[in-house]
Chains A and B, each alone.
Chain A
Amino acid sequence: MDLKKLEEIPKNYLKEILGSLSKLEKLKKIPFFTGIHFKDAERALERKIETYKSVERDARRVWKIVELSRNDNRPQCRDYIKGIFEDFVDLSGDRLTGEDKSIIAGLGKINGRTVAAIGHNKGKDIKERMIYNFGMGIPQGYRKSQRIMELADRFGFPIVTFIDTPGAYPAIEAEDDGQAGAIAKSISVMFKVKVPIIVVLVGEGGSGGALALAIGNEVAMLENSTYSVISPEGCAAILWKNPSGTKLAARELRLTSGDLLKLKIIDRVIPEPLGGAQNAPERMVKIVKRYVTGALERYVRISGDELKSAKASKFESMGFFNKE
């Protein structure tokens, strides 16, 4: 075997390959083993090395998407609202304990029709990020979202949500205020409403905090956005027990729009301008506007009962398992 190949093996797999190699060398010393077996074993090992190399390449490709999804210059919820809605009014507060600025909610017009918009907003510079808490929601925000969704449902306004969050805010106060219950209730309310819900993942779709706004009749994802059960960093810390696994974790989690469309977790991928939304933010907003307008036209024709039951059966059919 060409030992030069070993230099190209991703570090994470080097131990395993070296182990197999030394086993092979030991076997070679047994007198009655014939050469042909070794050839096969060596070929198998080389195939394995090739696989590992391609996994590593793929992980680098996925990591680029993760970085794009977090790019500061991507349009954010506020930009989409400005570009898509007319006469938009921000609404605040959960009417219980407070206001969460990380989640924007309000009413505006699209093509003369009143539509509710709700979404996470990360903020673009450090000052904005502090105000919006990096798009990490607290119970007050999820409860505000529930309030606006219930209001929209009563008046028959369709709902559009924009997802862009690293996840719910992990803090003692948020936990004390019932973070888990607030997220669960948000999911539950989204299943109850009978108006059309269009969900657009525009950046980072981080875990339960994202899902709390993402139960849609149609769930669309910008090409370079992500949607994941845990951040690659968090996953690597738990499973690889090492940050060196971060890029591989990003690949294994299947968090890209292409993967999620195949898994039927999302319904549609919205293409981005060449190189990513950050290169042409205004054009990106226009593309999303065209999508949202079209989607609303399609969904407002469907009856509320049908919308509700189709949404339930879509999400209830998600899952892969063996059945004897």
Chain B
Amino acid sequence: MEKNKCKNCNKEIENEIFVLNLWVCPYCNYHHTIDARDRLQITADSNSFNELGKNISSVDFLNFYDIKSYGERLKETRLKASLDDAIIVGDAQIEGNDVALGIMDFGFMGGSMGSVVGEKIKILSNYSIGKNIPLVIFCTSGGARMQEGTISLMQMAKTVSSIGRVKENRIPYITVITNPTSGGVSASFATIADIIIAEPHALFCFAGPRVIKQTIKKNPPPDFGSAERNLKNGQVDMIVNRGDLKDTLANLLRLFRG
């Protein structure tokens, strides 16, 4: 029997139980990071998802070279990751409710936001407005994609503007913060939602613990940036277990219908 070790409590979890429990540790409730395909499967009604913006892909337009070229990094990441970039967008149903759905993937270059993430969120926003259906985005990201230079910073502006139009059209916008969500994504589309839901223990901050440690020269408290601390500080609406997310989203979507 294949076994997995919980990243938090180190206890062994049988593979079957792990999958049935949606990659949440049955002993300590630690929510393990999952890729966008798995997230889609446990969120959208079966066969309800139609992908949008499939035809766009990242390009090394700056010839960015650190110890490797961005082009090469993209090639390597595409072979490993579950997606072609750090987000998948499309239309879907959640318990029969139509939504414009975006799901980010931390496995693709740390969920970093470059031109493609920005453009896909714009496409999704326009779709949400065109169909007059709520916008739901699952966030996870280490921040902006440095290999696209200042253009990656501009994606913060681009996504806020696109989603701003969704909000002006009085269409509900809900984000689900998953572990980890930080940097440019936190300081743009993740935090302008009407409702912000977080998974338990998800790290949700602008500057990550490592950056904070450099500034204050000591370790930040263990709960720094956690969903629980954010709830206490009034930065998120609720913390919802992965197993209850679908029901919670469906309920909210029904409530917004008035």
Contacts and interface: CB of A to CB of B under 8 A. Distances in A.
A299 B207 CA distance: 36
A180 B191 contact: yes
Interface stretch (A23-31, A39-47, A82-90, A224-232): A224-232
Contacts of A179: 187, 205-207
B156 A319 contact: no
Contacts of B176: none
Most buried by A among B118, B119, B152, B154: B154
A255 B156 CA distance: 17
A125 interface: no
A321 interface: yes
A184 B155 contact: no
Given A180-B205, A320-B115, A323-B55, A208 B153 contact: yes
Given A171-B215, A181-B235, A240-B66, A321 B116 contact: yes
A253 interface: yes
Nearest to A179: B206
A263 B165 CA distance: 25
Most buried by A among B62, B146, B152, B229: B146
Given A239-B66, A321-B119, A187 B151 contact: no
A202 B101 CA distance: 40
A238 B115 contact: no
Interface stretch (B10-18, B27-35, B218-226): B218-226
A176 to B, nearest CB: 5
B161 to A, nearest CB: 5
A192 interface: yes
A175 interface: yes
B149 interface: yes
Contacts of A265: 150-151, 154
A185 B187 CA distance: 8
B256 interface: no
5 contacts: A171-B207, A227-B150, A230-B144, A316-B162, A320-B61
Interface of B: 55-59, 61-62, 64-67, 114-116, 118-119, 122, 144, 146, 148-158, 160-162, 164-165, 182-184, 186-192, 204-207, 211-212, 214-216, 220-221, 224-225, 229, 233-235
Given A180-B186, A229-B152, A318-B158, 20 more contacts: A168-B206, A174-B206, A174-B207, A176-B233, A180-B204, A183-B206, A184-B160, A184-B186, A184-B190, A191-B160, A211-B153, A227-B150, A239-B66, A240-B67, A263-B151, A265-B150, A315-B154, A316-B158, A321-B57, A321-B116
